[in-house]
Amino acid sequence: MKDMGFLARSRYLLHDRDGKFCPAFRQVIRAGNVRPLQLPARSPNLNAFAERWVRSVKEECTSRLIFFGENSLRRALTQYVEHFTLNAITKAKTTSSSFPDRN
């Protein structure tokens, strides 16, 4: 299990206090040399950037499409991530270029 799966190169797995993350689940994660870290209770803004990104994906991508299997979902998410990344880079370039140099 150490060299397989999406956690192969991960050191930590952050998770909330949902019942599906039971001790048996955490034991399996530890067997792959990944340390499970349980988030504090009642902390909705602990990872606000990730929460906002997930909300954006749901509102702007997945709620507007009908998917026919995993492949169509993956294709839509890949295109959304490319679009999101390109717009973020473009916005960062235009924002940073509007300020004068300090020299």
| Statement to judge: residues 34 and 1 lie in one domain | yes
Q: Say if 71 falls within a structural domain.
A: yes
| Statement to judge: residues 69 and 30 lie in one domain | no
| Beta-bridge partners for 14 | 37
pLDDT at position 36: 94
42 phi-psi bin (left φ>0, alpha ψ -120 to 50, beta other): left
What is the reported pTM?
0.51
Q: Give the residue numbers spanning the domain of 86.
A: 48-97
32-47, pLDDT tens digit by residue? Answer: 899 999 988 888 777 7
Q: Say if 76 falls within a structural domain.
A: yes
Report which DSSP code applies to 17: S
Q: Say if 102 falls within a structural domain.
A: no
Percent of the chain clearing pLDDT 70 (strictly above): 85
| Statement to judge: residues 39 and 52 lie in one domain | no
Task: Record the tokens describing residue 57, joined without a space.
Answer: 């994906």
Q: How many whole angstroms separate alpha carbon 27 and alpha carbon 24?
A: 5
**CA angle, residues 38, 42, 45, in degrees to nearest 5:** 90
| Statement to judge: residues 58 and 89 lie in one domain | yes
| Statement to judge: residues 7 and 37 lie in one domain | yes
For the chain, the domain total comes to 2
pLDDT at position 11: 92
